[in-house]
C-alpha cells in the first residue's frame, strides 16, 4: 500500500547493474577470461509474501550456478546480517452463532478463542529465547456485537535464527492455538504458509572479498560486533544459500529512514539513492571478477558453503 518501502526497486537495479558492469569488464579484456562465464540476471518476484525464489529453486532456476549475488537496502553497510528463518501460519476458529443477549449460552464464541490464543502467545513470550519473534493480527473478529462470533481468523509470523529453532517455536505456538480451541469448545484449523523462509547462510570468503572491494569504493561497513548483535528480517534468499553459495550484503541509501515506512519509500525512489545503489553494484561486479580470475577463491567459497551446510544438516528437510 505504500510502494517500495523496502527498496526492492533498488535490489532489481543493483542486480542488473552489477551484471552489466561484469559483462562490460569481461568484454573489455584483451584476452578472454580463464574460464567460460555465464552471467544470469534472475528476476525473483514475491519475496515479501509467497517466496518466489523458493518456487524458482524448485523449478531448477538455480541449477548449475556457482555463486549468486544480491544486495538489500538498509540503514547501514554490511557484508552480512543474520537474516532469520520464518514460518507464517493462518489460524481459523469455528464456533456457533447465537444472540449475545437473549441466549448466549447457546453459542460457541470464536472470538473468545482468538483472544485466548493471542493472550496465550503473550504468556509464552516469557519463555521465548531473545532471538525468537512472534507477531500477528486478528484478521476477522466477528460481524456484530449482538451476535456470538462463529468465525475468527488470525495470521502470525514466527521467526528464529535457524530452522531447528523455528520448529521448536512453531510447536509451542501451535499448542497455544489448540489450547484456545479446547478452552472455548471451538474447532480450529491451523495452516502453515506454502513456503518457509530459511535463515541466510553466511559465506565468509565472499563477504571478505566484497568488503575489500567495497572499501576501495569508499563504503564504510559496520563492525563485526554490530553484526553479531544485530537482528534482521527474513528473506527467501536464505533458501537460495542452502543450494548455491550466496552473498547478501546490505547497503546504505543515503537516508536514516527505516524500512517499511513511507519515508523509506521516498528515500528508495530518490535520486540520492542512485549513487549508493550503483556503488554497491560495482562492488558486486568486482567481487564476481575476483571469483572468476582467482580459482582458489571459488574453491574457498565452495568449502565455506560445504562447512556451513554441514552444521545445518539434520535441521531441515532438503529443498
Q: What is the DSSP track for 41-57? A: ------TTTT-HHHHHH
**Structural domain span for residue 219:** 8-83+200-313
Distance CA 310, CA 313 (A): 5
Q: What pTM was computed for the model? A: 0.88
Question: Is 39 contained in some domain?
Answer: yes
Whether 166 and 141 share a structural domain: yes
Whether 51 and 15 share a structural domain: yes
Residue 215 to residues 218, 220, 240, 294, Cα–Cα distance (Å): 5, 6, 26, 19
Q: What is the pLDDT of residue 49?
A: 77
Which cell is 302 given?
A: 565452495
Block means of pLDDT (10 residues each) for the chain, 319 residues, are: 89 97 94 89 85 94 96 95 94 97 96 98 96 96 96 97 94 98 98 92 97 97 77 88 96 93 94 97 98 94 93 57
Question: Is 318 contained in some domain?
Answer: no
Q: What is the pLDDT of residue 319?
A: 39
Q: What is the pLDDT of residue 315?
A: 54
CATH number at residue 26: 3.40.630.10
Q: What is the pLDDT of residue 92?
A: 98
Whether 220 and 308 share a structural domain: yes
Q: Which of 169, 192, 215 is the last residue of a domain?
A: 192
Cβ partners under 8 Å of residue 188, min gap 6: 91, 92, 93, 94, 113, 177, 178, 180, 181
Per residue in 216-251, pLDDT tens?
999 999 888 777 666 678 999 999 999 999 999 999
Q: What is the pLDDT of residue 175?
A: 98
Whether 237 and 210 share a structural domain: yes
Q: b or e along 73-97 (b: 16 or more beta carbons within 10 Å of the residue's beta carbon)?
A: bbbebbbbbbbbbbbbbebbbebbb
Whether 102 and 140 share a structural domain: yes
Whether 184 and 240 share a structural domain: no
Q: How many residues are given for the chain?
A: 319
Q: What is the pLDDT of residue 318?
A: 42
Q: Which of 192, 222, 256 is the last residue of a domain?
A: 192
Which cell is 182 given?
A: 479446547
| Percentage of the chain lying above the pLDDT 90 cut | 83
Number of structural domains found in the chain: 2
| Percentage of the chain lying above the pLDDT 70 cut | 97
Q: What is the pLDDT of residue 137?
A: 97
Amino acid at each position: 500500500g505504500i510502494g517500495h518501502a523496502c527498496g526492492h526497486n533498488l535490489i532489481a537495479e543493483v542486480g542488473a547493474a552489477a551484471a552489466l558492469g561484469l559483462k562490460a569488464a569481461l568484454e573489455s579484456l584483451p584476452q578472454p577470461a580463464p574460464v567460460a562465464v555465464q552471467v544470469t540476471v534472475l528476476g525473483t518476484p514475491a519475496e515479501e509474501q509467497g517466496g518466489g525464489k523458493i518456487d524458482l529453486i524448485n523449478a531448477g532456476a538455480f541449477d548449475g550456478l556457482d555463486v549468486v549475488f544480491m544486495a538489500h537496502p538498509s540503514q547501514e553497510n554490511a557484508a552480512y546480517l543474520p537474516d532469520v528463518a520464518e514460518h507464517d501460519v493462518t489460524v481459523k476458529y469455528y464456533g456457533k452463532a447465537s444472540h449475545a443477549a437473549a441466549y448466549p449460552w447457546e453459542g460457541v464464541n470464536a472470538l473468545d478463542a482468538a483472544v485466548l490464543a493471542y493472550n496465550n502467545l503473550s504468556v509464552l513470550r516469557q519463555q521465548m529465547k531473545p532471538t525468537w519473534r512472534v507477531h500477528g493480527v486478528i484478521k476477522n473478529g466477528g460481524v456484530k456485537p449482538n451476535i456470538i462470533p462463529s468465525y475468527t481468523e488470525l495470521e502470525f509470523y514466527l521467526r528464529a535464527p535457524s530452522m531447528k529453532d523455528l520448529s521448536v517455536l512453531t510447536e509451542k505456538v501451535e499448542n497455544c492455538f489448540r489450547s484456545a480451541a479446547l478452552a472455548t469448545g471451538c474447532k480450529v484449523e491451523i495452516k502453515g504458509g506454502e513456503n518457509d523462509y530459511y535463515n541466510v547462510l553466511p559465506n565468509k570468503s565472499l563477504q571478505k572479498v566484497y568488503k575489500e572491494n567495497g572499501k576501495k569504493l569508499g563504503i564504510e561497513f559496520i563492525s563485526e560486533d554490530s553484526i553479531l548483535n544485530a537482528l534482521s528480517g527474513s528473506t527467501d534468499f536464505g533458501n537460495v544459500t542452502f543450494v548455491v553459495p550466496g552473498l547478501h550484503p546490505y547497503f546504505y541509501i543515503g537516508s536514516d529512514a527505516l524500512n517499511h515506512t513511507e519515508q523509506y519509500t521516498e528515500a528508495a525512489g530518490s535520486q540520492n539513492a542512485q549513487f549508493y545503489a550503483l556503488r554497491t553494484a560495482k562492488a558486486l561486479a568486482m567481487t564476481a571478477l575476483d571469483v572468476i580470475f582467482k580459482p582458489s577463491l571459488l574453491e574457498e567459497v565452495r568449502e565455506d558453503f560445504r562447512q556451513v551446510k554441514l552444521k545445518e544438516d539434520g535441521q531441515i528437510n532438503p529443498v
